[in-house]
Structure 1
């Protein structure tokens, strides 16, 4: 039996209206925003609580002001981050996760914890790979 035949005989499952594997699917852009280096780190930091821009920039070590600003705009547009500007002197802007952002960040943090917890294995694998590559 071919793979195609096997797939057509599977019991029907609920299909989502979006398919991240399709080139034109809008979910692909959101996935990029969430899983890109700065998006993932920003969501992870905001999972800890509300931050002002410069506090967040210090927490996400290495991000430039421009990249953090672009990342926050993208995440806000996707409905994951809420930006609140307070008309004080000087103006105060706080960023926090929306309920959807908290759900996404929670799942992302599980992945981050998995990666951090596996780093000894990763470093061992890298060293073995580099040793093999050096002999070729």
Structure 2
């Protein structure tokens, strides 16, 4: 895996979040050149600061709903791989602010995909989602793509 990621340009949305911070650390240790794009961490302390994330990547603070800024940063990076993790992930919050959650999660994802389309060279896109899209049947088994 190290040979694959060595010197690859990687663009990560949501790099300051829990999963994004771990992904940043992993890819850094595999030799990737990382540009992260996310909101500032919401909690103090947070994992991104604990792993000294600013030393592992070029960290850009921005909102995926800001399509002009997002696209400009993606164009500057010209990534080989895009990992899209930026989201409003809290189910309870989605009930409290449904329109904003839709805008962040759906329009934000469309903005990332459109940014990929505008790059000079093709790249790999990995879109991270949640298991919350599946009906929880309390079976204790991993979800399958055919589950509801």
Task: Tell me, yes or no, whether TM beats 0.5.
Answer: no
Larger radius of gyration: 1
Q: Comparing both structures, which one devotes a greater share of its residues to strand? A: 2
Q: Comparing both structures, which one devotes a greater share of its residues to helix? A: 1
TM-score, normalised relative to structure 2? 0.28
The structure, 1 or 2, with the larger RCO (C-alpha pairs under 8 Å, 6+ apart) is: 2
TM-score, normalised relative to structure 1? 0.30
